[in-house]
Amino acid sequence: MALEELVSDVPLSLWIVLALVVYAIVRSFSHATKLRNIPGPLLYSQTRFRLAWDAWQARSVHAVNTLHKEYGPVVRIGPNEVSFNSLSALRTIYGAGNGFERTSFYRMFDAYGRPNLFTFASGVLHRERKKLVSHIYANQTVLSVHFSSLVKRKVAGFLDLLEREPKLGSEIFTSLHYFSFDAISEFVYGPTYGGTAALTGSQQSRALIQDILNPARRRLAWFAVHFPAYTKWITTRTGFLEHLLTSMGLMPMRKPFTYSGIRQHALGAFHSFKAAQDDYKAKSVETTVIGRLFKVQKEAKLSDMDIASECADHLLAGIDTTSDSLMFIIWALSLPQHRKYQDKLRMEVSQISVNNSDGFPEPKELTQLPYLNAVVRESLRLYSPLPAFEPRSSPVNTVIDGYEIPAGTIVGMSPFCLHRDESVFPSPMTFRPDRWLTESGNLIPESDVRNRCFWAFSSGARMCIGMHLANAEMLTLLAALYRKYKTSAKHPDTSPGITSRFEVFFDETMPKMVEHECYIDFIKLDKVVEA
């Protein structure tokens, strides 16, 4: 058969497929060629499963930090993935006006099948959605009378819990989850439709936290990132097939899956609010996230599920982050070697004025206390609640730190690595709040390189929208707590560990670690005899 006849017998569709395959191979080769000059271990550059193996062991960010120490601020960590660890890269990738977008990685955080502020890849879509809710998260709004009152009520609830249920309260990983859950649920939905009461003893509210507390969620997150199609299929099986897969150990996590209970609660809150009277909705416009979104629903062309997804995301984002941060702050201050820091903090907060009606300091005034803010900042540096790699990609070729980065390359940084740069933070594994203060005791200026390298809340347009609310919660609870109590760690040789995506983070200078558990002794000051 002549070659012409053989070629003519091949269907056009097959030629198209072959052409696409050849194009993909050539493009991949060209891509790899442009990245080959970037330093890093050979095995990491050849297969994405080398880093995936680190992630399976809950150590991928730790592994990347080790690579940065060996290879410098630019490291190739996958065939199509590069990690950076410099201020110049931070500005290029995450700074205002950058052309980088979020990758498909974030779609695992969609709720009810709809993207939200956190998961939008497009900067344009993110900006349009953010404009709808940015006012309620503004510092001026959060520190207003209404929201300050909300925060103080939840702080009072936590202190009451310590008195009423001391055994439960002393395990602060759980009890601080109750605090943050009650605070963010009321902020998003209001007290009537969706507000929770975990602090005051509601078993229904407390049960919702259980799927967050399960460490097995790391395995589910790992599968969702590395095998998304398989994970979507296997986790949607029901009946006999679900039972069979579970019994064979093939299900990444037993039901209820991570956040499933809370997402169900959030969906119920949405429907309840939607059915509420119009006058209630009108009153909620300036006091809840959901009220604001319902007001602009038509003009912003939001579907019901857009609103439900957005609110569920805000609810989930405000639980672990605040509670984990507070846990590490209290734990660090409770270690015997850090007693001097706790004493300095107590001296500062004991001298501030309090509201005569409730006996609590005002969140607005607490933002001006240098030592309190230094303690919070140092803990967020060393124990960031979201320390993992933040992937981005650019639709066009770009240059970062002198390296040509082809379009579509996954690039990123992590607070974990940036906050451990010894050239910026000497003895980076040491908890030392004074590093954030000048010799005169004031906070260092914003222009200081330490502040420019502080990245606990991200930066640029994608900076954490709930930053001011989280600060108000942390500052108020810490000030109120240390005006009333001294704290000491029940197990001073053991670090608490937190789950973040598929990683475990803890204080690696400690000889022991227990995940999702932290016991603290709370000693009332009027019962303490000063040494």
Run of H or E residues at 75: strand 74-78
Confidence (pLDDT) at 442: 97
Q: What is the DSSP string of 350-376?
A: TTS---TTT----HHHHTT-HHHHHHH
- Please give the distance of CA 411 from its chain centroid, rounded to a whole number: 19
Q: Which residue has the tokens 């925060």?
A: 151
Q: Where are the alpha helices (DSSP H) in 72-171?
A: 87-94, 123-137, 139-142, 145-164, 166-170
In sequence order, the 6+-apart residues with CB closer than 8 A to the CB of 32 are 45, 79
The residues pairing with 400 across neighbouring beta strands, listed in sequence order, are 403
In this prediction, residue 17 carries a pLDDT of 53
Q: Which residues have a Cβ under 8 Å from the Cβ of 511 and sit 6 or more positions away?
A: 493, 494
Check whether 464 is labelled as a binding-site residue.
yes
Q: Which 8-state DSSP code applies to residue 8?
A: H
Mean pLDDT, consecutive 10-residue stretches, the chain (531 aa), reads: 53 58 49 85 95 94 97 97 97 90 88 91 92 96 96 98 97 98 97 96 92 77 84 78 77 69 91 94 95 96 95 94 97 98 97 84 95 98 94 95 96 97 97 97 97 94 94 98 97 95 93 96 72 35
Asked whether 128 and 484 are in contact (CB, 8 A), the reply is: no
**Alpha carbon distance, N-terminus to C-terminus of the chain:** 101
Are 103 and 410 a contacting pair, CB within 8 Å? Answer: yes
In total, the chain counts a number of residues equal to 531
Structure tokens at 138: 């503004």
Domains of the chain: 36-109+392-418 (no CATH), 127-214+258-386+420-453+456-527 (1.10.630.10)
pLDDT number for residue 519: 98
Round to whole Å and give the CA distance between 510 and 193.
43
* Residue 513 contacts residue 497 (beta carbons within 8 Å): yes
Helix (H, G, I), strand (E, B) or coil at 68: helix
Q: What is the pLDDT of residue 356?
A: 76
